[in-house]
Structure 1
Amino acid sequence: MRDYPVEQLLRGARHAIEHNEYLPTLNRMHECCQAGLAEFGLPSTRDAYVEACNARSPKSAQRWSHPAVYLAGRDSEWFFLANNAEQKALPVFERHYKEYCARVMRGEALTVPPEQALEHHEAEPLPVEEQLEQLRKLREETGL
């Protein structure tokens, strides 16, 4: 439970109290905290991890269930997620995802940064004199 932010614990406790006759068990409290993510449009940690691992490139152009999923995947490094076993990659992703979930629950609006386009430069051919000079230098270097 220590991994959940206070806001999420309070929401989970409120949910457990409203929907149960008895005090919740630790397992039930964990379920309620996970259910609290849905109120903010956040998928569960496991669902977010699977979404991040299955996303195609370019990552920023994909439809994400929530920007927190993209940001946690980016911070976990896409190559790391794609090339390591779940046992190793999920804890790293989970740490980042929980940080972003806490920010969302505090009211911060997250966004996926726009895809950066490569600079486009029109190629201009060299003047004929320079082309001939470059050709001469190439012939000298190669011995042709």
Structure 2
Amino acid sequence: MSDSNQLLDQVQREIEASSKTSPTAAGQAEQTEPRRQVTDAHIDALNEVFALFRINYHNQYYKAYSDAAVLGQIKKLWLDSLLRFEPETIRRGAREVIETSEFLPTLNKMINACQGDPKKHGLKDSHAAYVEACQAPSPKAAFKWSHPAVYYAGKAADWYFLASSSERQAFPVFEQHYKRYCERVMNGETLTPPDTPALPESVEVPLSKEENKKRLDALRKELDL
């Protein structure tokens, strides 16, 4: 039982550390974003994760989680820390851990797996994306974006807000939206490029002074002026 208590203490310390060092958690704390509610989908995803761990890390799993009561507490702690992610992101993180590690993951490793590597999907880091969104000229939809996620995050944050607010105010808001779009991309969703404003079918060319004079003379003759 002492081993189980030590394990529980270790997980608690990892959660406290991850809440201080995780960029996602830091961004949420800075924005004072309301705590996300536990959903059945999150609970199902976490149960699936532990089922996968049990199958893939059989001996390690039963050695670490031999006490059913302690396992229940650990699941609650994991759920509390992973609640920031979408259920499918949690599943993706578990699959990545299983494919890349021979050892039962710690909570910190699971969080890193859920956060993923945006660069593998052609996504910039949050600050570089923020700079791109702020510097893009209008019309925004016509700009050649590095990735549609940058455009949609800027649109969600509000272009005027980004242009008129300091980076200290605007970046956390943009980052929150950008991370959500990145998460969708890393989960396999394809974001369509923004609709480019259609060009007019014909372009009016201003008349020369001579042509204007000819038309004015013709109009005077027509009106007998």
TM-score, normalising length: structure 2: 0.44
Counterparts of 1:62 and 1:38 in 2: how far apart (Å)? 21
- The residue that corresponds to 1:25 in the other structure is 107
Q: Between the two proteins, what is the percent identity of the paired residues?
A: 38
Please, what is the CA RMSD of the aligned residues? 3.3
How do 1:61-76 residues align onto structure 2 when only pairs under 5 Å count? 61-76=142-157
Distance of 2:150 and 2:216 partners within structure 1: 51
Query: What is the rounded CA distance, in whole Å, between the counterparts of 1:44 and 1:6 in structure 2?
Result: 23
**Letter in structure 1 aligned against 2:157:** S
Q: Contact 2:141–2:194 at 8 Å: present in 1 too? A: yes
Instruction: Write the mapping of 1:1-144 to structure 2, written as runs, cut at 5 A.
Output: 1-20=82-101, 21-26=103-108, 28-104=109-185, 105=187, 107-117=189-199, 120-121=203-204, 127=216
Gaps of 5+ in 2: 1-81, 221-225
- Aligned to 1:42, what secondary structure does the other structure show? coil
Contact 1:16 1:24 in 2 (8 A): no
Is 1:16–1:32's contact at 8 Å kept on the other side of the alignment? Answer: yes
Q: Is the 8 A contact 1:67 1:112 kept in 2?
A: yes
Greater helix proportion: 2
TM-score by length of structure 1 reads 0.62
Task: State the structure with bigger RCO (CA 8 A, min sep 6), 1 or 2.
Answer: 1
* Higher Cα radius of gyration: 2
d(CA) in 2 for partners of 1:102 and 1:15?
14
Counting matched residue pairs gives 130
Distance change >3 Å, CA 113–CA 91, structure 1 → 2:
same
